[in-house]
Amino acid sequence: MSGNHIIFVLLLPILFPTLSIDASPTIPFDLNAPKFRHSRLAKSALQRQTSNEEQSELWTPLAHQGWKPCSEPDAASAVPEKSEGYIQVFLDGGLNQQRMGICDAVVVAKILNATLVIPQLEVNPVWQDSSSFEDIFDVDHFINVLKDDVAIVKELPDKFSWSTREYYGTAIRPTRIKTAPVHASAHWYLENVSPVLQSYGIAAIAPFSHRLTFDNMPKYLQHLRCKVNFQALAFVPHIRHLGDALINRLRYPSSEGNMVSNNNYLREVTDLKPKQGTGKFAVLHLRFDKDMAAHSACDFGGGKAENLALAKYRQVIWGGRVINSQFTDEELRSQGRCPLTPEEVGLLLAALGFDNSTRLYLASHKVFGGERRISALRSLFPLMEDKKSLASSEERALIKGKASLLAAVDYYVGMHSDIFVSASPGNMHNAMVGHRTYNNMKTIRPNMALLGQLFLNKTLTWSEFQESVVDGHQNRQGQIRLRKPKQSLYTYPAPDCMCQA
């Protein structure tokens, strides 16, 4: 590129301030894209070939494992004749953390023989999303499914209309419970919250995340948790409709010409299907956002500028509570404590047998580094899609800029995929692993420590890398793992939510 051209490119943002830097591949910002960190492996992966036998084994659904979903009726599950009062909870976190909090809130109301007010979702401090319960979940379905277990109301009666989040944020209030310990027992709620209900007829519990134990709980309460999570929490119709459209376009890409417009924001898909049968697709939850990258204190190859940006973000968001680790990057990686980059996830999938004809749906909100970071993954999987590539802006209008609704669509598509892959542990990982285990669906859980050690070894050949990856993931594809003490039944639904067939 000549000197004059370089000057012109540098002046573009000044001459044309509305021009999107990320949108143009000719801008220096994009020319500085991170190169492959594992170039030797990447070169081999780009030339990979998989046999029909490998493909058949990869996409074969899980065999029956001797467990099935179950919900045993119990006399104790009946709604009490008289409610002890109203329970409010205020839930923070992202969609899946809130989902678990909702399940626990129902059970706490059951323990206390109280009426649950539809939980209030706090504004997410990271994504700045103010979506309410009603924006995400089908409220009428939620109430109807649980009507024989717990009394639930959409809002408080007028005499308690003063009980708002703002009311509790301005002073110490006798009706607010803010001392609930993490993983509190049922007995704790009876001892500490029942007296408040008896005195005032209402109790607001905040904070509430992870405030109910998973251990030493009566079987009927565990079953109720399962019922809420796997039956009562259904997304609102427009999320399901958009999800169904995305699923259809992933399975039948050649039928896109059969889509017709109507008065709805969502284009409908006709019943015409390709004769060759259903196509298969995998969903990848690429948990590589700035929040995750900053919290890990790992080096992701973006140089000094990237490390400084992450350090600044760490200071602004957590105020110094999360600092650089005492461990080196190599030590963190060998312990499996570094999120996988898009490039590393691509190499993992390629080693497991996914080829360049794989229909891959990318379920993520914002990837740290944007398209520049994703390009390494896209080069390995050119048929990779996401919400933006599969749906028009009109179809996405109701979810645009709303992290919880975007995540809900991804969750819905993920629950209908042939294979789900979660790149790094987290709340989405936990929720999807548990839900798909409940339905006996193939779910690949990366072996983080193994992969960290493999990527540190710069002398590995492709065949050695692939053999180690395949061996290290034989039993990480959806096999039933029974819940151990202190573990979440939302991640490990057997045996609490499942029965041996």
**Each residue of 396-446: pLDDT tens digit?**
999 999 999 999 999 999 999 999 999 988 889 999 999 999 999 999 999
The maximal CA–CA distance of the chain, rounded, in angstroms, is: 83
pLDDT, residue 64, reads 94
Q: Is the pLDDT of residue 33 over 60?
A: no
The rounded distance, in Å, linking the Cα atoms of 404 and 407 is: 5
Pick the more confident residue, 72 or 166: 166
Q: What is the pTM of this model?
A: 0.88
Mean pLDDT, range 468-493, rounded to an integer: 96
Q: Is the pLDDT of residue 206 over 70?
A: yes
pLDDT, residue 411, reads 97
Percent of the chain predicted with pLDDT > 70: 85
How confident is residue 34, by pLDDT bands cut at 50, 70 and 90? low
pLDDT, residue 2, reads 45
How confident is residue 262, by pLDDT bands cut at 50, 70 and 90? very low
Question: Degrees (nearest 5) of the Cα angle 413, 480, 431?
Answer: 35
Residues 6+ apart with CB under 8 A from 17: none
pLDDT, residue 303, reads 86
**248: enclosing H helix or E strand:** helix 237-251
How confident is residue 391, by pLDDT bands cut at 50, 70 and 90? very high
Pick the more confident residue, 275 or 244: 244
Indicate the average pLDDT of the chain.
87
Place of tokens 């500085």: 32
pLDDT, residue 15, reads 34
Q: What is the pLDDT of residues 278-330, one digit of tens each?
A: 599 999 999 888 888 888 888 888 888 888 888 888 888 777 666 666 888 89
Percent of the chain predicted with pLDDT > 90: 69
Which of the residue ranges 109-118, 309-318, 334-343, 395-404 would you say has the lowest mean pLDDT?
Answer: 309-318
pLDDT, residue 457, reads 95
Mean pLDDT, range 60-80, rounded to an integer: 83
How confident is residue 129, by pLDDT bands cut at 50, 70 and 90? confident
Long-range residue pairs from 252-255, CB within 8 A, at least 24 positions apart, any chain:
252/278, 252/279, 253/279, 253/359
pLDDT, residue 318, reads 76
Q: Is the pLDDT of residue 451 over 90?
A: yes
Cβ atoms < 10 Å from Cβ of 206: 20
pLDDT, residue 187, reads 97
Please report, for residues 48, 93, 270, 501, the alpha-carbon distance to residue 414 in angstroms, rounded to integers and kept in the order given.
Answer: 26, 20, 22, 26
For 158, the token pair is 């007028």
Residues 6+ apart with CB under 8 A from 233: 99, 102, 103, 137, 142
Mean pLDDT, range 123-148, rounded to an integer: 90
Which of the residue ranges 14-28, 38-52, 208-222 would you say has the lowest mean pLDDT?
Answer: 14-28
Mean pLDDT, range 228-244, rounded to an integer: 98
Which of the residue ranges 259-263, 385-389, 480-484 would you say has the lowest mean pLDDT?
Answer: 259-263
How confident is residue 74, by pLDDT bands cut at 50, 70 and 90? low
Q: Is the pLDDT of residue 121 over 50?
A: yes
Mapped to the 3 state alphabet, what secondary structure does 152-195 carry? EECCCCHHHCCCCHHHHHCCCCCCEECCCCCCCCHHHHHHHCHH
For 244, the token pair is 């169904």
Q: How far is CA 172 from the centre of its chain?
A: 35
Cα-Cα-Cα-Cα torsion 400, 404, 406, 410, nearest 10 degrees, comes to: -170
Name beta bridge partners: 443.
420
Mean pLDDT, range 131-160, rounded to an integer: 97
Mean pLDDT, range 198-213, rounded to an integer: 96
For 68, the token pair is 């099935």
Q: Is the pLDDT of residue 184 over 80?
A: yes
With 0-12 / 13-18 / 19 or more C-beta atoms within 10 angstroms meaning exposed / middle / buried, residue 105 is buried
pLDDT, residue 289, reads 85
Asked whether 25 and 331 are in contact (CB, 8 A), the reply is no
DSSP strand pairing (67-69 vs 498-500): antiparallel
pLDDT, residue 72, reads 62
